[in-house]
Each structure stands twice: as C-alpha cells, then as structure tokens.
Chain A
Amino acid sequence: MDIAIRGYFEFLFPLLLVTWAIFGIARFTKTLDLIGKIGKPVVIAFSVLITLYPFTGLSLAEYLLSLNPNYSIGSIVFFFIIVCKEFGRKPLLSYKNLLQFSIWNVGISLCLFASYLGFVDFDLYALGYGFSFWFVVTALLTIILTLLRNPLSFIFILYIISFDLKLLYSNNFFDYITDGVLFLISLGIVMFAVVKFLILKYRKSYA
C-alpha cells in the first residue's frame, strides 16, 4: 500500500472520534435541533475542519496521533459504528454485539499487553509479523462467527483485509486488531455492563 494512502488513512480515527464527540456536544446542548435539517452535515463539516486544519501548527488529528500513532482497525470500526448511529435508524451493531465486541477487545488486549509488557513469558506480539498459528486462530474465529451469522464476522474480515492491504504503518497483525485506546473504551463498556448486571441482580434479590 502506498505510503500516501496510509498517511490519509491514519486521519480516519481522529476524524471519527471528533465527529462522535461533536455530535455528543451538539445533542447535549440541543444545537442540532436548533439548526434543523442541515444540522448533521454541518456537524460533519465542522468536525472535518477542526480535526484536519492545523490551527496551532498541528491539527487536532495530529495531536491525537501524537498520543497513539497507530489506531487499530478495531478502533476505527468501533467509532464508525457509533457515528453511523447518528444517521441510521437501525444501529450497525446491537448492544449485545457491541458488548461481545468489547469483551473480545478486552480479552485479546489483556493477553497481548500482558505478554508485551513482560508480565508473562510468552511473546504473543512476535506472532503478528508473519503467518503464524495466531492467524489460524483468527481465521477460525472469523469462520465460526460467519457460520453463526454474527455481525462481528464483518469486523474480523476487515482486520485481515486491512492487514493484507497494509493500511496501517505497523506490519504486525495485532496492531490491526487492538490498541490501547480501544482497550480502555472496551474495558469501560464491559465494566459498565457488569455493574449494570450486578445492580439488576441485587435489585431482583431484594424485590
């Protein structure tokens, strides 16, 4: 993949993140209702402007890329799904699927980070550079999800398509699957779900 294409592709995550944040602010301040029908296109145009225009020498996208130079396909898909919610009546992923996706992200990230940061002996990250048994594992998971008609299978297919096309600067397959930001967001979603579940259980037992 041409370096220039990667250079543009890396701005996708910051753009989606900022768009999501501005939609959130616009909804909270009821600005969207005030603007009317053109509200959503205006939000998108505004997001593109403040994400990509270098107001202080660097653009907001470049600041976000300074914190994490490699946002995974998982992160991009996650924010694409929640930004798409602003446009479609039916979300691309149900809450149940989103929770499944978050559990997957937390699980794989914990294993990967524990291995990479030296908490366990096994060097999992090294398996991501070339075809290894890890590729067989993800291929099998993708096939199983497809047979189960689980929409997460499309995300898994995107992992391998983007890896084959080398859309990211990293040449490690794990960097296409997860990253620190996705881990933290997914952990938040899983913890929220666990707390919600425990509260409901607690209420039921005392009802």
Chain B
Amino acid sequence: MNKNIEIRIREIKRQNMARYLIILLIILLYLIPFYQNYLVLNKERSWDKMKVANHDNILSFSDKPFYSEDFVYQAKPDTMCHVSSICSAGNNKMACTWYAGSRENAEDVAIYFSIFDEEKASWTNPIVLVDRKQCSRELNRYIKKVGNSLIFDDKNGRLWLFYVSIVMGGWSGSTLNYKVSSDGGYTWSKSRKMILSPFFNLTHNVKNKGINFDDGSFLLPVYHEFIKKFSQLVWVRPGETAVQYEIRKMSREKKAIQPSLLHTREKDLVAFFRNMASGERNYILMAHSNDLGQTWSELNNTPLPNPNSGFDMIKLSDGAYLGVINNSFYDRSNLTIVISCDKGKTWKSLKILENTPDKRYAYPSISRSGQGFYHITYTFESKKIKHVVFNEAWIKQLNGYCN
C-alpha cells in the first residue's frame, strides 16, 4: 500500500516537474521577442529612435524663374489613364508611373513607367512595368486586376514601386505589392506581396509618397477602404533578405484617405487627407503627429476645399507648404497650386494650372528633383498625363508667395 502511494507521489512529482519545465520553456520562448524588442531592436531600429532624412538643403541651381509644361503620356483611343506618381530617380532624372486601360478597375489596366531627363527635357517612351498577368506570374497568385501605383525613392537611391492588385471585388478588395529597382528604374525586382492586415489582408491602397528615415527605412502612407475608410502609416524596413513592416492607424473618425505627409521638424509630421464625407462642402482634413507618425491628433478641417478628390503636398526649402489641389467644393475642373506660409493654417492660391468647366484634372503628384526643380504630374481629362516643371525662383515671383 505504502509502495503504491510512493509510486503515485513520485509520478505526481514527475508530472509537476514536466509542467514546470514546460512553463520555463514558455517563459524562454517569450523572452526571445522581449530580447529582440528591448535589448537589440530598440538600440538600432525602433520607430522612436528614427530620424527623418534631411532633404531641405536641396536648393535650386538656377536663380532664374523656370516653368514648363508637357505631356508624359497620351492614352490610346477608347482608353483612359490615371493616378500618376513622380519621384526623383537620381542623376537629374525623374521617374513617373501611372495606370492606363479601358476603364478604372478593368482587367486590361497596366502600370506604365517613363523617365524624364532634366538635361534633355524629354521623357522616355512609356513601358508597361506590370500588368495583371505579369503580377500573377511574379507573385504566383491569381490576380484579377491591378490599379493605383506609387513610385518612391528611398534614402539609398533605390526606387520602390508600390501598386495595388485585386483578387476579387473593387478597390475595397485591394492589397499592396512592391517592386524595387537599384539602377534608376531600368531593371526591377519581382513583385512581392505586403501582408498588412489580419483580415484576408484587406485592404490597402496608395496615392502619395512617403518620408525617408536616415537608416534607409521609410514611412509609407496607405489607406483602407473595406467597410470603413481611413488612413494608415506603414514603416517599411528593408532588410538584407526581406522587408519588414509595421502599420499604425492615422485616422479613425471621418472618411479621411490618401494622406499627404510632410515633415515639419524633428519628430513632428503633418498629414493632409482627402475628405470622402458626404455633404456638399467638404474641406481637406489635417492631423499632426509628434512621434514620427506612431500616434496622430484628431482630424481638423483646413480652409482648403475638397471635392472628394486626391491631391499632393510638398514642403519648400523655406518651410512653406506647397499643395496641388482641386480648388473647388464640387468637381475636378480646376487644378491649382496653393501655398501656406503658416504651417497649414491659412492658404493662398498661387497659380491655376487648369480651369475648364466639365473637364477633369485630377490626382496630382509632386516631387522635387536633385537639381531643385519641382515636378508635378496629373491626370489631364482622363486621356493624358500632364507634366509641369518649375523652380523655387518661379514660385517666389508669383503673387501670393510668402514674404
């Protein structure tokens, strides 16, 4: 009897010992992310520790005012083009992407690419960078269509193409992919899918460029359209073998999408949002962050009207905010360059780029080249991608510039 009790006690002890060992194992397993987060990553690559790469020292080489206009692309008959994006490609070159096809969200939509040479003042012949078949081949996934794209240059001179692919449904079914070029857009990596959402990876779309950090990582503004419409910010960290992401919400209330990000100072960012709220008179929305985009203030109206349309903003070398917007509450028939000299509180109209009733001029993208020229591209009556170039000397001589 005693022997049986002893065996039983020994068995219980053994079981308890096994359980304690498992608990120890659990603690050790959880210590790994703790160690990575607080003892390794925090020292090198924590969002809090990032510094925005400084682009403000780029000044225009020319004191003479310069302004020019041309077209990047003319859509074929019975097709349209839309959502252009422009960024510096190094060596006095600018890279531009857009999509074209029979209609928005059609299966024949492809993403096009062209390079502008500032010395020659000419565009290369547009090429198809990716269409749904190529995307499907590169990702080894079924892809029904592709859509919005964004081209962005990181601090290390690489070009990133972020673009949307859709397996089913419309824009609310969009997910993001990327391709990278290390030679100014001549060759590109295979497409890779970004996993940013826990719910069927739904949904993310892009419009405006991000902000570079000193270490080569960057912030990418994205927006969400499945059930609710809001904006998010992705911290993209390119590694040696893989790219890692972290995503944070920028807005919750109101229908604020397509954020345009500006770095104001140190860890302060300001974002301007397209306003998708119902109602007749809507304004561009604005929010601030003082921790490099991890948390955001509530949304406030700016004085700028927004007819539920995309726009873009950039910071000039003297700190003024320059925007390209549809300066109307009702439609996209007017496209105007606006400026704010007081950090977005008040705005003045600088130059009306387009103003033809019943026509559409939409989705501007603005970027500064290494030579200090400002390049704007936008959809011109759904049939062309128009390109406008100017320098700061040209802006400064306009009526309404900050003095």
Contacts and interface: CB of A to CB of B under 8 A. Distances in A.
A58 B230 CA distance: 34
B249 A69 contact: no
A116 B33 contact: no
Nearest to A184: B200
A55 interface: no
Q: Is the interface of B mostly helix, strand, loop or mixed?
A: mixed
A160 B197 contact: no
Contacts of B224: 117-118
Given A62-B140, A131-B38, A143 B228 contact: no
B25 A69 contact: no
Interface in A105-141: 112-113, 116-119, 121, 123, 125-126, 129-131, 135-136, 138-139
B167 A131 contact: no
A3 interface: yes
A174 interface: yes
B5 interface: no
B167 A66 contact: yes
A172 B198 contact: yes
Contacts of A172: 198
Contact of A175 (B29, B195, B241): B195
Interface residues of A, number: 51
Given A62-B142, A126-B246, A126-B248, A161 B29 contact: yes
Interface stretch (A24-32, A35-43, A162-170, A190-198): A162-170
A67 interface: yes
B136 interface: yes
B227 A117 contact: yes
Nearest to B294: A126
A162 to B, nearest CB: 10
B242 to A, nearest CB: 6
Q: Give the interface size class of chain B.
A: 35 or more
A131 B37 contact: yes
Interface string B114-155: 000000000000000000000010001111000000000000
A133 to B, nearest CB: 12
A164 B141 contact: no
Nearest to A68: B200
B200 A160 contact: no
Contacts of B197: 116, 125
B103 interface: no
B9 interface: no
Contact of B33 (A121, A123, A135, A157): A135
A170 B26 contact: no
A139 to B, nearest CB: 4
Interface string A150-182: 000100010011011000011111110011110
Interface string B164-196: 000100000001000000000000000001010
Contact of B195 (A70, A129, A173, A180): A70
Of listed B19, B33, B175, B245, residue having the most chain A CB within 10 A: B33
Contacts of B398: none
Contacts of A118: 224, 227-228, 230, 249, 252
B344 to A, nearest CB: 25
A125 B201 contact: no
Interface string B202-242: 00000000000000000000001011101000000000011
B1 interface: no
Contacts of B30: 131, 135-136, 138-139, 160
A82 to B, nearest CB: 22
Contact of A157 (B29, B41, B167, B201): B29
Contacts of B25: 157
Given A131-B34, A171-B245, A121 B252 contact: yes
B146 to A, nearest CB: 14
A125 B23 CA distance: 26
Contacts of B38: 131
Contacts of B193: 69, 169
Given A66-B142, A130-B33, 13 more contacts: A58-B136, A70-B201, A117-B227, A123-B248, A131-B30, A131-B34, A131-B37, A131-B38, A138-B30, A146-B26, A147-B19, A157-B29, A179-B200
16 contacts: A58-B136, A62-B140, A68-B200, A69-B175, A118-B252, A121-B252, A125-B198, A126-B246, A131-B37, A147-B23, A157-B26, A171-B244, A174-B198, A175-B195, A175-B198, A179-B200
4 shortest interchain CB distances as A-B pairs: A131-B37, A130-B37, A118-B228, A66-B142
Interface of B: 19, 22-23, 25-27, 29-30, 32-34, 36-38, 41, 136, 140-143, 167, 175, 193, 195, 197-201, 224, 226-228, 230, 241-242, 244-249, 252
